[in-house]
Amino acid sequence: MTPEAAAILLLLFYLLLTSALLIYQALHLPDGWRAWILFAITRVYAPGLWHVRRNRRCPFPGDTAGIVVANHRSP
């Protein structure tokens, strides 16, 4: 096996492993996979676009899905 083929196989393995983990997380979220998609989008875009930092877990109960909107932050 050439080094290029080994590298391609390793990258495919990483891709399959990452995809399997993401699908597992999305399917096992109690609120459903649609809520997981919103969660994933928020995790990617919020820190980059608005410099949001999370320093603890969400204080709201996870019994049902919901959207929390806030238009300010403390100094």
Q: With bands split at pLDDT 50, 70 and 90, how would you rate the model's confidence at 66?
A: confident
Cα–Cα distance for residue pair 3/1, rounded to 1 Å: 7
Give the pLDDT confidence score for residue 75 in this predicted structure: 61
Domain ranges of the chain: 1-75
Could you read off the pLDDT of 8-42 as tens digits, one per residue?
999 999 999 999 999 999 899 888 888 889 888 88
CA-CA distance, 42 to 13, in Å (whole number)?
27
